[in-house]
């Protein structure tokens, strides 16, 4: 009895193993490949999420829609860091502008 599961490519009808992510005949994407949850990848995601805050949303959406619990946890942490990064940027900009306007007001007097 054959225990290897096979699927058909919806584009070219080639018989492929069920574990295939792409069709080996025509290159059609069959399913999403799993995302990396390695420590080095997490460092990159967290760095981008905090220091380049809006770009962290790309990782947030990609990781939150994964079925793996750890991948979703990475997505939640990336979302929190993105929100924190944006909030700190807004706060720092406001403080800078207040200090700049204060300096201009003292010079104008």
Domain ranges of the chain: 1-33, 35-108
SS3 52: coil
Task: List the helix and strand counts (H, then E) for the chain.
Answer: 3, 2
Pull the structure tokens for residue 28: 């059609």
Structure tokens at 5: 């599961």
DSSP 54-79: HHHHHHHHHHHT-SSHHHHHHHHHHH
72 contacts: CB under 8 Å, gap ≥ 6: 63, 64, 66
Q: Judge if pTM exceeds 0.75.
A: no
Largest CA distance in the chain: 92
Per-residue pLDDT of the chain (109 residues; tens, 9 = 90+): 456 688 899 889 899 998 888 898 998 988 877 889 999 999 999 999 999 989 999 999 999 999 889 999 999 999 999 999 999 999 999 999 999 998 988 887 6
């Amino acid at each position: 009895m054959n225990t290897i599961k096979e699927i058909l490519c919806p584009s070219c009808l080639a018989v492929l193993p069920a574990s295939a992510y792409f069709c080996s005949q025509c290159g059609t994407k069959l399913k999403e490949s799993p995302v990396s949850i390695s420590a080095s990848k997490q460092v990159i995601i967290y760095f981008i999420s905090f220091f380049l805050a809006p770009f962290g949303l790309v990782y947030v959406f990609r990781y939150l829609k994964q079925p793996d619990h750890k991948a979703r946890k990475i997505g939640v942490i990336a979302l929190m860091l993105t929100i924190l990064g944006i909030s700190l940027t807004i706060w720092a900009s406001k403080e800078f502008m207040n200090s700049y306007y204060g300096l201009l007001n003292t010079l104008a007097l």
